[in-house]
């Protein structure tokens, strides 16, 4: 059974240069146009079975909120149809309709009524709302004295207190502290288990991966990918990486016209060898040589290097600002040595950053562009061959209470 | 008539809005809602001092000077409710833009609740007036029971205009300014500060097409004179109110889908 269906949904906005142009256009009745068109959403179709969770991902301004609003019915489509079966509750904005002068209790009652729960029914739910919001005595204080965290907690508690068939959530979870975010996720998970249909939009790909059955990736108002969660998220992550890369490449190509330092080249070598090397054994020396160009005038900068495993785990990251070293402020190169690289076997990649003199602003970044592979000859397991030794008590030595360290040193 | 059913269906929500509106006005003040009783009392006292004690204005040859204060007050109460409802309808959609855009919500009730809030204040004023009349020994006749019917007609008329104005103002924001001028003209063209008998013959036509004249006169005749207003004038008012209401709702409903695009 399908509960939510979109067929060729489009939303176009008319952009007027001046407010009076709208009136002019109305008066000439289409004989002349005074607007340009902006397609916030173009030809998006999907059908979502009852009880499933649909995730929306995409950059800011890609049309996620527009799509959710069209499904919720607060916006009217320019073309196409949105069909929803059952009672819809939309959390498009937390605390919409709150009046700062009134107490949390009064606002919760009003807000619930606005969202369609009769006041008497809402009144019965208030203890539950108060418990979930977890704001204690502030529940009976005016909302204007709330901290922003308390505000969103109350708003989320009210918004999810209704009992919808279809729940639409627009990035509501990007607010609040970790603890509250966790509880929100639990709440949504509860809705999901109860067989509700959920439409969910977030920048947190991890959450999307955990919660959704189906994902749509929107790009400039159009469906870039739709379908299986890991497939779509994978494609989107690829796109995110590619978008970072060309910027760096373009930057290097027309580098001379740039105002800020950029990375000219990076070489991975084994020790002091001069030929590039991307195969190492655990414990060998790895040297990362970073060449950078600095436009005139010379600019103080710092160099950062990070090692990541191919599953995204950051193994190690450091920089000259951490070590208290000041690299040359004109074009030069700098080398970072790992005398006995303790990494265990796996695929890794180096990322390099050029930072300002405070180590805060990033002038240039090349993320995971220099891969290398490590093979291990030790039989331990894990990510890193940590320096270690075993100590064993020998019964014969008890009298002297001495400890004989049994070295099983590093390879 | 589906819209009246719609309004009835949303009665608890509308009432929540009205209640919040009335409470918000006096939120944080010490005596709270009591202010809505104090205000009309002060106004009536002021009118009595200025018009009856100082200016000694008479409505007609046969009436005493104390009558003018009551006459003026009785005319201003419905007018203020009417003007307040319309004035606030210009901003009510903009004010609740986040509800329109972000919440699944029957937006047709937004222009309605300020109208009701205005009428509630009018009722409080009438209550004050009736108390004063009783205390001063003015007779109150059973015809006062017809008053709710006039209130209903006033509500239907005001709501229709409020929908019309609220809908158009979203697109033509200048209407808010224009309305201020129109309401001032309208106030002075309605016999509120002067008796209708003083209006010259050639200007009488302005009275017959003015529904607020009928409303104001109906209240005066019920409260001050103890007479039922002429049935034909009430029928004309009812017809006009229903027509304006129907038209206003149609315009509003027609414009509503585009609200979220412009706000």
Q: Encode pLDDT of B97-110 as tens digits.
A: 888 887 777 888 99
What would the pLDDT profile of B135-165 be if each residue is shown by its tens digit? 888 888 888 888 999 999 999 999 999 999 9
Min CA distance, A371 vs chain B (Å)? 47
Q: What's the pLDDT at B165?
A: 94
CA-atom Rg of chain A in angstroms: 29
Q: Is the ipTM of this complex over 0.85?
A: no
* Among the partner residues A13, A74, A99, nearest to B103 by beta-carbon distance: A74
Confidence of residue B2 (pLDDT cuts 50, 70, 90): low
Q: In what order do the strands lie in the sheet with A197-201?
A: A88-91, A166-170, A197-201, A53-57, A214-219, A222-227
Q: What's the pLDDT at B19?
A: 87
Q: What's the pLDDT at B189?
A: 92
Distances A171 to A39, A57, A205, A208 between C-alpha atoms, Å: 22, 10, 12, 11
What would the pLDDT profile of B184-201 be if each residue is shown by its tens digit? 999 999 998 888 888 888
A335 closest CA partner among A348, A316, A352, A349: A352
Distances A150 to A15, A92, A104, A161, B133 between C-alpha atoms, Å: 37, 18, 10, 16, 52
Distance from the Cα of residue A313 to its chain's centroid = 16
Indicate if the pLDDT at residue B245 is higher than 90.
yes
CATH number of this structure's domain A2-238: 3.40.50.300
In contact, B178 and B263? CB cutoff 8 Å: no
What would the pLDDT profile of B75-96 be if each residue is shown by its tens digit? 999 999 999 999 999 999 988 8
For chain A, the straight-line distance linking the first and the last C-alpha, in angstroms and rounded, comes to 61
In contact, B80 and B86? CB cutoff 8 Å: no
* Among the partner residues B13, B24, B173, nearest to A101 by beta-carbon distance: B24
The model's pTM is 0.69
A92 closest CA partner among A150, A41, A168, A153: A168
Q: Choose, out of A96, A99, A105, A121, the residue to mutate when testing the contact with B (most B CBs < 10 Å).
A: A96
Three-state SS at B58: coil
Partners of A106 on chain B (C-beta within 8 Å) are 20
A207 in B contact zone (CB under 8 Å) = no
Search chain A and give the residue with CA nearest B26: A101
Spatial separation of the C-alpha atoms in residues A261 and A263, rounded to whole Å: 7
Spatial separation of the C-alpha atoms in residues B184 and B79, rounded to whole Å: 11
Distance from the Cα of residue A231 to its chain's centroid = 17
Q: What's the pLDDT at A305?
A: 93
Residue A402, number of CB atoms within 10 A of its CB: 9
What would the pLDDT profile of B21-73 be if each residue is shown by its tens digit? 888 887 777 777 788 888 888 988 898 888 888 888 777 666 666 788 888 88
Spatial separation of the C-alpha atoms in residues A211 and A216, rounded to whole Å: 13
Min CA distance, A214 vs chain B (Å)? 24
In contact, A350 and A341? CB cutoff 8 Å: no
Residues 6+ apart with CB under 8 A from B87: B179, B180, B183
DSSP A101-169: TSBHHHHHHHHHHHTT--HHHHHHHHHHHHHHHT-GGGGGSBGGGS-HHHHHHHHHHHHTTS--SEEEE
Q: What's the pLDDT at B3?
A: 59
Search chain B and give the residue with CA nearest A93: B102
* Domains of chain A by residue range: 2-238, 260-375
Q: Choose, out of B18, B19, B20, B94, the residue to mutate when testing the contact with A (most A CBs < 10 Å).
A: B20
Q: Which fold has domain A260-375?
A: Coagulation Factor XIII; Chain A, domain 1 (2.70.50)
Residues (pLDDT < 50) of chain A are 248, 250-256, 411
- Axis crossing angle, helix A104-114 with helix A119-133, rounded to the nearest 10: 130
What would the pLDDT profile of A29-57 be if each residue is shown by its tens digit? 767 777 888 888 898 999 888 888 999 98
What is the DSSP secondary structure assignment for residue B199, as one 8-state letter?
A: S
* Among the partner residues B12, B27, B101, nearest to A74 by beta-carbon distance: B101
With b for 16 or more beta-carbon neighbours within 10 A and e for fewer, the A298-324 pattern comes to ebebbbbbbbbbeeeeeeeeebbbeee
Q: What's the pLDDT at A253?
A: 47
* Among the partner residues A23, A96, A109, nearest to B102 by beta-carbon distance: A96
A288 forms beta bridges with: A268, A336
Confidence of residue B217 (pLDDT cuts 50, 70, 90): very high
Interchain proximity B102–A92, CB inside 8 Å: yes
What is the DSSP secondary structure assignment for residue A227, as one 8-state letter?
A: E
């Amino acid at each position: 059974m399908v509960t939510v269906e979109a067929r060729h949904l489009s939303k176009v906005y008319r952009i007027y240069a001046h407010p009076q142009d709208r009136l002019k256009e109305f008066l000439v009745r289409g004989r002349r146009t005074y607007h340009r068109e902006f397609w916030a959403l173009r030809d998006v179709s999907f059908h979502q079975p009852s009880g499933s969770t649909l995730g929306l991902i995409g950059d800011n301004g890609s049309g996620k909120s527009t799509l959710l609003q069209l499904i919720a019915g607060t916006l009217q489509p320019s073309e196409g149809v949105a069909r929803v079966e059952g009672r819809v509750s939309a959390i498009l904005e937390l605390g919409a309709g709150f009046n700062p002068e009134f107490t949390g209790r009064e606002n919760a009652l009003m807000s619930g009524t606005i969202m369609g729960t009769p006041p008497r029914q809402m009144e019965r739910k208030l203890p539950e709302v108060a418990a979930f919001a977890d704001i204690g005595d502030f529940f009976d204080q005016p909302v204007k004295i709330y901290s922003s965290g308390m505000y969103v907690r109350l708003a989320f508690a009210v918004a999810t207190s209704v009992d919808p068939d279809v729940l639409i959530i627009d990035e509501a979870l990007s607010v609040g502290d970790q603890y509250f975010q966790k509880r929100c996720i639990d709440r949504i998970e509860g809705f999901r288990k109860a067989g509700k249909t959920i439409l969910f939009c977030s920048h947190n790909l991890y959450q999307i991966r955990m919660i959704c059955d189906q994902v749509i990736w929107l790009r400039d108002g159009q469906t870039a990918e739709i379908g299986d969660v890991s497939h779509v998220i994978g494609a989107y992550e690829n796109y995110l990486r590619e978008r970072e890369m060309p910027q760096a490449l373009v930057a290097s190509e027309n580098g001379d016209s740039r105002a800020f330092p950029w990375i000219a080249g990076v070489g991975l070598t084994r020790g002091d060898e001069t030929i590039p090397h991307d195969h190492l054994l655990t414990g060998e020396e790895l040297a990362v040589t970073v060449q950078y160009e600095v436009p005139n005038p010379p600019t103080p900068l710092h160099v950062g290097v990070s090692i990541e495993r191919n599953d995204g785990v950051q193994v190690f990251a450091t920089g000259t600002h951490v070590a208290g070293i000041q690299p040359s402020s004109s074009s030069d190169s700098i080398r970072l040595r790992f005398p006995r690289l303790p990494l265990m076997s796996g695929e890794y990649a180096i990322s390099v950053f050029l930072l300002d003199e405070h180590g805060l602003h990033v002038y240039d970044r090349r993320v995971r562009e220099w891969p290398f592979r490590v093979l291990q000859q030790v039989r331990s397991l894990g990510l890193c061959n940590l320096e270690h030794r075993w100590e064993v008590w020998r019964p014969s030595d008890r009298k002297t209470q001495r400890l004989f360290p049994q070295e099983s040193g590093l390879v | 008539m589906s819209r009246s059913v719609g309004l009835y269906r949303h009665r608890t929500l509308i009432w929540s809005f009205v209640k919040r509106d009335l409470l918000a006005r006096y939120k944080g003040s010490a005596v709270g809602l009591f202010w809505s009783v104090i205000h009309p009392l002060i106004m009536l006292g002021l009118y009595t001092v200025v018009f009856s004690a100082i200016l000694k204005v008479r409505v007609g040859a046969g009436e005493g000077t104390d009558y003018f204060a009551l006459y003026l007050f009785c005319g201003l109460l419905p007018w203020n409710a009417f003007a307040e409802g319309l004035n606030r309808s210009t901003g009510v959609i903009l004010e609740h833009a986040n509800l329109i855009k972000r919440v699944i919500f029957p937006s047709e009730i937004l222009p309605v609740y300020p109208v009701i809030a205005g009428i509630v204040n009018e009722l409080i004023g009438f209550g004050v007036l009736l108390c004063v009349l009783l205390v001063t020994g003015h007779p109150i006749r059973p015809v006062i029971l017809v008053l709710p019917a006039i209130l209903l007609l006033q509500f239907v008329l005001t709501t229709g205009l409020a929908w019309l104005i609220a809908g158009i103002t979203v697109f033509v924001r200048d209407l808010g300014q224009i309305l201020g001028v129109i309401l001032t003209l309208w106030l002075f063209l309605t016999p509120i500060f002067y008796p209708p008998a003083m209006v010259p013959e050639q200007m009488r036509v302005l009275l017959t097409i003015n529904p607020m004249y009928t409303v104001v006169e109906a209240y005066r005749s019920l409260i001050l004179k103890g007479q039922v207003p002429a049935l034909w004038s009430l029928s004309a008012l009812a017809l006009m109110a229903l027509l304006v209401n129907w038209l206003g709702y149609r315009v509003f409903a027609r414009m509503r889908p585009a609200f979220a695009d412009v706000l």
